[in-house]
């Protein structure tokens, strides 16, 4: 049986996901958020053609998600920003820096945000395509 190395035209892309990457960080508009920090969580879902890696069993032909997680964590714990939207964009830029990544969907969770009312989570999600 032949090895298929391409998806049929029009099919959904392969996806690699790192979900629940968590860190204590100091993002936010308010001074107390910057001073005290809080827990943030990131989900990154990447569109990647995994067929070449699958056909050859070669890590160099796909996204190394351990290395990706380290780069995302460095942004998450790095320079504080006011808006989750800005943080999402910085994280998407990290993903798209890998030429194998065709698109990235980033969700940042801020479950300890101070909304003044009970809630479970606050999220911002963006999707960025290479094109």
What are the chain's domains? 15-129 (3.30.1130.10)
Digit-coded pLDDT (tens) for 2-36: 455 555 555 789 999 999 999 999 999 999 999 99
Catalytic residue, from 16, 53, 72, 110: name it: 110
**Active-site annotation holds for 110:** yes
Digit-coded pLDDT (tens) for 33-55: 999 999 999 999 999 999 999 99
For residue 80, give the DSSP letter: -
For β-strands 101-109 and 123-129, DSSP reports them as: antiparallel
Tokens 């890590």 correspond to: 59
What are the phi and psi torsion angles at 82 (to 5°)? -75, -45
In this prediction the pTM is: 0.90
Mean residue pLDDT of the chain comes to 93
Mean pLDDT of 79-105: 98
């Amino acid at each position: 049986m032949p090895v298929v190395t391409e998806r049929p035209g029009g099919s959904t892309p392969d996806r690699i996901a790192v979900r629940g990457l968590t860190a204590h960080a100091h993002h936010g508009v308010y001074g107390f958020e910057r001073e005290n920090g809080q827990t943030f969580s990131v989900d990154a879902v990447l569109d990647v053609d995994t067929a070449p890696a699958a056909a050859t069993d070669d890590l160099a032909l796909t996204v190394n998600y351990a290395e990706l997680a380290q780069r995302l964590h460095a942004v998450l714990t790095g320079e504080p920003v006011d808006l989750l939207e800005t943080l999402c964009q910085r994280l998407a830029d990290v993903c798209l820096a890998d030429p194998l990544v065709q698109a990235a969907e980033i969700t940042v969770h801020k479950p300890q945000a101070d909304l003044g009312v009970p809630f479970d989570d606050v999220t911002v999600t963006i999707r960025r395509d290479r094109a």
